[in-house]
A and B are shown apart, each in its own frame.
Chain A
Amino acid sequence: MTTMLKRCCLILAVAGAMRAQQVIAPTPEAVGIARGENFANYNIVDSFELGARWRETGGSVDTYRSDVNYGDGVRLLATNLSINSKDGHGRWFDEILLSTSGLGNDPYQTASLRIQKNGLYRYDMLWREDDYYNPGLDISGGEHLMDTVRGLQDHSLTLFPQSHFQVDLGYSRNTDNGPALSTVQGFDASASAFPVFENVKQQWNEYRIGVLADWAGLRFIARHTWDFFKDDSAYALTGNETSGVATDPTILTQFQRSEPNHGSNPGWFGNIYGRRKYWALNARLTYNLGNGGFAMNELTTGLNSISVADNRQVVVSGDAQRPVVAGDLSFSVFPNSRLSIVNNTAVHDTRIDGDSYFTEFDDGTGASTTLNFKFLGVRTVSNSTDLNYRFNKWFTAYAGFTDSSRQIRFLEAFSFPAVTGSAVSGLYQQTSHLNAGRFGVRFHPLQPLSVNLEGEVGHADHPLTPMSDRNYHTLGGRIQYRKRQLQLSTGYKELYNENAPLSFETYSSRSRQYNAAASFALRDWLTFDASYSKLHLDTVGGLAFFAGVQTPQLQTGYDSIYISNIHAANVGLRFGIGRRADLYAGYTITKDTGDGRSLAVPVGVTDPAAALLDSVQTFPLTYQSPMARLSIRITSKLRWNAGWQFYGYSELFHLLGYDQDFHAHTGYTSVLWSF
C-alpha cells in the first residue's frame, strides 16, 4: 500500500507539473489523495476552487484581449464532483460527474456533466462559453472588430448503454451574439470602405435520434439528424461617415442592412461493423441535405464620389442547396498475429448550387434584376491500403498506398429575366489524380526506448491552389525513452511541396519541425519538464499583380517569399516544500526570428513594389510568458493558492502599421477545498 501511495503521489506530481504549463489557474495541485465521503451507498468526492483574478495591462489592450483576455473579478475557478454507487446498483443513478472551470466571467467557461445508471441510461452534457474578442487590426486597418459571446452546448442521452439495443438522443446548440464592426463600400464597388456597426445574432440547433443494434455478429448504427441555422445579424451606420480619403468625397449619412439567412440540414448516418478472427468489416454512409433561404434589404444614402446626393437600395433574395454524400468501406484482414492489412475506399460527393436575384434601385429608379446561378460540385474517390507487419517483438514495418481521384465542376451563369435569351454561362472543370506511398519502421532496442521512422511521397497532377499538395514528400522520425520517472523524446518532421500547376506561377513550400522534450520526476516533491521546438517554414511563389506609382501596370517580375523560423520553448519546475507547500515556476517563449534581417526593407531597395513585398516576407516577433504559483496546504482538505503570470508580446517591424505590442501582469489568489 505504501508503494501504491508513493506511485499515486508520483503520478499526481508529474501530472501536476505538466498541467502547470497551461494557464496559471485553476490550480492543478490536489489537496491530497481524495477518498471522499460515504453517504448511503454512494461515495462522494468534491472540490471547489474559489478565487479572484486581477490584471494590469500596458500597450495594446485590444491585442491583449484578442490573445489572452483574462480580466478582474471573483471566479469559481474550478469544481469537480463525483458521486459513485459502491455496488453499481444505485436506485436512480450509479455515477454523477460534474466539472466546471472559469465560472463567473472568465472568458473561457466550461461545464461538463455525466449522469448514468448502469445498463439503463447515460446522459452527457457539455456547456462552453467563449468571450471572443478580435480587433482585426491586420485585416482591415482596424475597421473590423468582434466582441461576441459564443455559447456551445451538447446533450446526449443513451438508453440501455450496455445492451445489444441502444437508443441515442441528442441535442446541440451553438449561438454567437454581440457587437461587431464590419465594413461596407459606398455607392460603387471601387469606393472607399466605411465601418458599420454589426449586431451579430446567430443560432444553430441540432437534434439527433439514433439506434444501435447487435445482430448476427454485426453491429448496426443508424442515426437521423436535423439541424437549423439562422443568422439575423443586422447592420447600421452610426452617424455620418466620411471616407477619410482626400480624393474620395463620399459621405454616408445612412446605411441599414437587414439580412436574414435561415437554413436547415437534415442528415442520415449509417454504419455496419463486423469482426471475425481473420477479418473485419466497417462501412459508413452519410447523407446531408443542406438548404438555405435568404433575403437582403440594404439602403444607403449620402453623397457619392462626385459629391452628388445619392441613395441606393439593394434587394437580394434566393436560396442555396448542398447535398453531401460520404461513404467509407474498410475491409481488414489478419492472416496471422503478425500481419494486418486494411483496405479503405472512400467516396465523397458535394453539390452546391443556388439562385440569387439581385435588384438595385438608384435614387428610387428600378434597375433591372439579375438572376445569378452558381454550381460547385466536388467528387472524390479514394482507395488506400495499409499493411502492418511485426517481424518480432522489437521490430515492425508498415507501408501504405493511396490512390485518389477528384473532379471539380464549377458553373456560373446569369441572366436578366426581363430580356429573353440573355443567359450567359461558363463552365470550369478540373480533374486531379493523386498517388501517395508511405513507409515506416519502428523498433524497440530496449524496453523503454522506441524509435519510429517514416516517410511519404506523393504526386497530384492538378492541385487547386498553390498551397495544395503536388509533388510532395514528408519525412519524420521520433525517438522516445519512457521510464516512470524520466521521459525523453526528440522528433523531426518535414514536408516539402513543389507546386507548379498550370494556372499559377511556380510555388514551393518547405516546412521542417524539430523538437525535443524532457520530463523528470526526481522525487515525489521535485519534478521538472522542458521542451523546445523549432518550426521552420519558407515558401516562394511567382507573382503577377497590378501596381504603379501613377497608373497600375501588370507586374510579373517579382516573387512572393515568406520565411518563418519559430523557436518555441517552455520549462517548468515544481518543488514541494515539506508536504506543506508546492511551488511552481514556468516559462514559455515563442520567438520568430524571421530570416534574420534587422530591417523590414533592406537598405538600398528603392522600387516601391519590391519594398512592399520585402516588408511582408518575414514577421519577427517575441511572445513570452513567465509564471509562478504557490500552493499551501492549510489543512488536509484546504489549500490556499496564489499565482502570477506575465504576457509580453513584441513585434520587431510593426509592419501592419499598427502597434500591437502589449504586456500584461495577471494574477489570482484562491482557496481550494476538497473532500
Chain B
Amino acid sequence: MTRRAKILWMPGLFLVVMATGTAAQDPSASGAGGYAGSNACKTCHADIWLSFYKNPHFKSVASGDLPPSRTGCESCHGPAAAHVAADGGKATIPNAFSLMSQAKALEACLTCHARDFEKANIRRSEHTMADVACTSCHSIHHSPTPKFLLAKTQTELCYGCHAGIRAQFEMPSKHRVNEGFMKCSDCHNPHGAFAPTWRMSDRPRMVDQAMNNEEPCLKCHVDMRGPFVYEHPPVRVEGCEACHFPHGSTNQRLLRRPVVFTLCLGCHNGGASGTRNNGVPIQTSQHNLLDPRYQRCTTCHVRIHGSNADETFLR
C-alpha cells in the first residue's frame, strides 16, 4: 500500500471506530428482517461512507427516524445481514446494482422515486422502452456532477447515445447547449413526458411541457406565446418544428430551409384561383416570385408568429 493510500485510509479507520462506538444510538442499526444497519456497511465500505454526507440520499440517514428499509445503504441495497455474515461478496447483496437487470434497477429506484412528478411517465417513456434505466445515467456513489447524481455532465450523457443530436448542436445555427447556456432537460424530460399538446399528441414523445401545458420553446421565447388575434395556425397546431429545427441547423435561425420562400410555399401553395384554400391563404398574382423582394417573405410579413394588427402579419 502506498503512503498516500495509507493516509487516506486513516480517517476511514477512525470513522469506523467512532461509528462502532455509537452504533447503539443509530436508528439504522441492526434489527429484524435481516437488516444490519448502515454502521455495519461503513466498516468495509469506508471509502463510500467518507463522502456520503454529500450524497442526496444521506438525508434519509440524517433524518434519524426512518425504518431500516427506508434509510442508509440498505434502503437501496436491501437487508445486509447475510452479506455481513458472509464477509462480503456481491452475490450476498440483495440489490447489487451492477448485477441487476435494467428493469430491476428501475424498480428499485422507483420504490421511492415513483411519486416524483417528473417521473410520472417513466413506465411509458422511450428510455424505459429502450432499456435505459436509472443506472444508465446516474452514478449514485461516484457522480462528478453537483446535482442529480449524474454519471457525467448531462450533455455528454445524452450525446453518448444520441450522436445525431450531438451533430445538430455542432451546426452553425443552434441552441447553445455546448456552450453550457442550456441543457437537454430544459426542453426534454428524460424520464418521460406527457402527451404533447401540439401536433397529433403522438410525437414527439420526450419533450416536456412549459407553462403547465404548452410547447417548451415558449419558456424562453415568451414573445411568441400570444395570445394573438391573428394566430399563425401552424404554430399552434403543429408547433415550432413546422418551420424550425429545434436543435441545430445549417440554416440561419434554425430554419428548415436556407431560403425562406421555399418554406412558406410549402403551405401557401395554391393550385386553384382565389385567395383561400381550406382556410390557408395562397398567394395573389402580385407576388411575382421572380422579383427578389417576394422571395423574402418576412421582409413584409414581419410578425410571422402572430399579430394583433394585421391578418397577414404585416405589422
Q: How far is the CA of A246 from the CA of B261 in the complex (A)?
A: 23
User: Are B308 and A296 touching (Cβ within 8 A)?
Assistant: yes
Contact flag A280-B114 (CB < 8 Å), given A261-B308, A467-B242, A546-B285 = yes
CB neighbours of A378 from chain B (8 A): 236-237
Residues from 280 to 315 in B contacting A, C-beta threshold 8 Å:
280, 282-290, 292-293, 295-296, 298-300, 302, 308-309, 311-312, 314-315
CB neighbours of A533 from chain B (8 A): 163-164, 166-167
* Contact residues of A: prevailing secondary structure: strand
CB neighbours of B160 from chain A (8 A): 18, 487, 489, 517, 519
Residue of A nearest to B167 (CB): A568
Q: How far is the CA of A140 from the CA of B264 in the complex (A)?
A: 14
User: Are B260 and A88 touching (Cβ within 8 A)?
Assistant: no
Interface size on A, residues (CB 8 A): 216
CB neighbours of A271 from chain B (8 A): 117, 120
User: Are B142 and A269 touching (Cβ within 8 A)?
Assistant: no
Q: Find B288's partner among A318, A503, A547 (CB 8 Å cutoff).
A: A547
CB neighbours of A328 from chain B (8 A): 194-195
Q: How far is the CA of A15 from the CA of B150 in the complex (A)?
A: 11
The 5 closest A-B pairs by CB, nearest first: A88-B62, A428-B279, A568-B167, A354-B229, A322-B227
User: Are A466 and B270 touching (Cβ within 8 A)?
Assistant: no
Q: Find A623's partner among B2, B171, B308 (CB 8 Å cutoff).
A: B171
CB neighbours of B101 from chain A (8 A): 390, 393
In the assembled complex, B85 has its CB within 8 A of some CB on chain A: no
Q: How far is the CA of A388 from the CA of B103 in the complex (A)?
A: 11
User: Are B201 and A354 touching (Cβ within 8 A)?
Assistant: no
In the assembled complex, B24 has its CB within 8 A of some CB on chain A: no
CB neighbours of B256 from chain A (8 A): 467
Q: How far is the CA of A466 from the CA of B269 in the complex (A)?
A: 10
User: Are B213 and A322 touching (Cβ within 8 A)?
Assistant: no
User: Are B167 and A515 touching (Cβ within 8 A)?
Assistant: yes
In the assembled complex, A256 has its CB within 8 A of some CB on chain B: no
Q: Find A322's partner among B123, B170, B226, B286 (CB 8 Å cutoff).
A: B226
Contact flag A564-B250 (CB < 8 Å), given A263-B227, A410-B279 = yes
Residue of A nearest to B143 (CB): A11
Q: How far is the CA of A330 from the CA of B121 in the complex (A)?
A: 8
The stretch from B27-35, B74-82, B86-94, B126-134 touching chain A is B126-134
Q: List 5 A-B contacts (CB under 8 A).
A: A108-B179, A185-B300, A325-B213, A503-B278, A546-B287
CB neighbours of A425 from chain B (8 A): none
In the assembled complex, A355 has its CB within 8 A of some CB on chain B: yes
User: Are B283 and A546 touching (Cβ within 8 A)?
Assistant: yes
User: Are B252 and A467 touching (Cβ within 8 A)?
Assistant: no
Contact flag A466-B266 (CB < 8 Å), given A19-B156, A434-B200, A623-B250 = yes
In the assembled complex, A65 has its CB within 8 A of some CB on chain B: no
In the assembled complex, A588 has its CB within 8 A of some CB on chain B: yes
User: Are A138 and B259 touching (Cβ within 8 A)?
Assistant: yes
Q: Find A382's partner among B166, B178, B202, B286 (CB 8 Å cutoff).
A: B202
User: Are A162 and B63 touching (Cβ within 8 A)?
Assistant: yes
Min C-beta distance of A488 to chain B, whole Å = 11
Contact flag A350-B229 (CB < 8 Å), given A118-B62, A227-B211, A545-B287 = no
CB neighbours of B270 from chain A (8 A): 544
Residue of B nearest to A7 (CB): B142
CB neighbours of B146 from chain A (8 A): 80, 82, 97, 99
User: Are A290 and B226 touching (Cβ within 8 A)?
Assistant: yes
In the assembled complex, B180 has its CB within 8 A of some CB on chain A: yes
User: Are B53 and A505 touching (Cβ within 8 A)?
Assistant: no
User: Are B8 and A1 touching (Cβ within 8 A)?
Assistant: yes
CB neighbours of A19 from chain B (8 A): 152-153, 156
Min C-beta distance of A292 to chain B, whole Å = 5
User: Are B155 and A320 touching (Cβ within 8 A)?
Assistant: no
User: Are B115 and A273 touching (Cβ within 8 A)?
Assistant: yes
User: Are A114 and B147 touching (Cβ within 8 A)?
Assistant: yes
User: Are B213 and A286 touching (Cβ within 8 A)?
Assistant: yes
User: Are B251 and A619 touching (Cβ within 8 A)?
Assistant: yes
User: Are B61 and A342 touching (Cβ within 8 A)?
Assistant: no
Q: Mark A450-468, 1 if CB is under 8 A from B, else 0.
A: 1010100010100011111
User: Are B5 and A430 touching (Cβ within 8 A)?
Assistant: no
CB neighbours of A464 from chain B (8 A): 233-234, 237-238
Q: Mark A466-494, 1 if CB is under 8 A from B, else 0.
A: 11110000000010100000010101010
In the assembled complex, A258 has its CB within 8 A of some CB on chain B: no
Contact flag A318-B265 (CB < 8 Å), given A273-B117, A552-B287 = no
Q: How far is the CA of A469 from the CA of B242 in the complex (A)?
A: 11
Residue of B nearest to A41 (CB): B53
User: Are A320 and B227 touching (Cβ within 8 A)?
Assistant: yes
Residues from 1 to 48 in B contacting A, C-beta threshold 8 Å:
1-2, 5, 8-9, 12, 47
User: Are B156 and A229 touching (Cβ within 8 A)?
Assistant: no
Q: How far is the CA of A253 from the CA of B253 in the complex (A)?
A: 32
CB neighbours of A204 from chain B (8 A): 222
In the assembled complex, A221 has its CB within 8 A of some CB on chain B: yes
Min C-beta distance of B292 to chain A, whole Å = 8
In the assembled complex, A169 has its CB within 8 A of some CB on chain B: no
Residues from 332 to 350 in A contacting B, C-beta threshold 8 Å:
332, 340, 342, 344, 346, 348, 350
Min C-beta distance of A622 to chain B, whole Å = 10
In the assembled complex, A190 has its CB within 8 A of some CB on chain B: yes
User: Are B197 and A326 touching (Cβ within 8 A)?
Assistant: yes
Q: How far is the CA of A182 from the CA of B8 in the complex (A)?
A: 64
Q: How far is the CA of A546 from the CA of B223 in the complex (A)?
A: 33
Residue of A nearest to B144 (CB): A15
Please give 6 more A-B residue pairs, beta carbons under 8 A apart, in addition to A491-B161, A619-B251: A118-B59, A139-B252, A296-B308, A352-B227, A548-B290, A554-B273
CB neighbours of B300 from chain A (8 A): 183, 185, 189, 193
User: Are B309 and A356 touching (Cβ within 8 A)?
Assistant: yes
User: Are B194 and A590 touching (Cβ within 8 A)?
Assistant: no
CB neighbours of B251 from chain A (8 A): 138, 619
User: Are B161 and A480 touching (Cβ within 8 A)?
Assistant: yes
Q: Find A1's partner among B5, B139, B171 (CB 8 Å cutoff).
A: B5
CB neighbours of B261 from chain A (8 A): 616
User: Are B227 and A88 touching (Cβ within 8 A)?
Assistant: no
User: Are B271 and A505 touching (Cβ within 8 A)?
Assistant: yes
Residues from 497 to 527 in A contacting B, C-beta threshold 8 Å:
502-505, 507, 513, 515-517, 519
User: Are B289 and A4 touching (Cβ within 8 A)?
Assistant: no
Q: How far is the CA of A102 from the CA of B182 in the complex (A)?
A: 13
Q: Find B129's partner among A85, A229, A386 (CB 8 Å cutoff).
A: A386
In the assembled complex, B97 has its CB within 8 A of some CB on chain A: no
CB neighbours of A410 from chain B (8 A): 233, 279
In the assembled complex, A5 has its CB within 8 A of some CB on chain B: yes
In the assembled complex, A304 has its CB within 8 A of some CB on chain B: no
Q: Mark A353-366, 1 if CB is under 8 A from B, else 0.
A: 01110100000000
The stretch from A51-59, A398-406, A667-675 touching chain B is A398-406
User: Are A348 and B201 touching (Cβ within 8 A)?
Assistant: yes
Q: How far is the CA of A354 from the CA of B295 in the complex (A)?
A: 31
The stretch from A129-137, A415-423, A575-583 touching chain B is A129-137
Residue of A nearest to B258 (CB): A619
Q: How far is the CA of A41 from the CA of B171 in the complex (A)?
A: 48
Residue of B nearest to A261 (CB): B308
Residue of A nearest to B271 (CB): A544
User: Are A150 and B220 touching (Cβ within 8 A)?
Assistant: yes
Q: How far is the CA of A67 from the CA of B250 in the complex (A)?
A: 10
Q: How far is the CA of A49 from the CA of B296 in the complex (A)?
A: 45
In the assembled complex, A598 has its CB within 8 A of some CB on chain B: no
Residues from 369 to 405 in A contacting B, C-beta threshold 8 Å:
372, 374, 376, 378, 380-382, 384, 386, 388, 390, 393, 396, 398, 400, 402, 404
Contact flag A517-B223 (CB < 8 Å), given A346-B201, A547-B290, A560-B266 = no
In the assembled complex, A294 has its CB within 8 A of some CB on chain B: yes
Residue of B nearest to A97 (CB): B146
Q: Find A84's partner among B53, B131, B159, B283 (CB 8 Å cutoff).
A: B53
Contact flag A458-B253 (CB < 8 Å), given A271-B120, A286-B212 = no
Q: How far is the CA of A519 from the CA of B259 in the complex (A)?
A: 38
CB neighbours of B220 from chain A (8 A): 150, 152, 174
User: Are B202 and A292 touching (Cβ within 8 A)?
Assistant: no
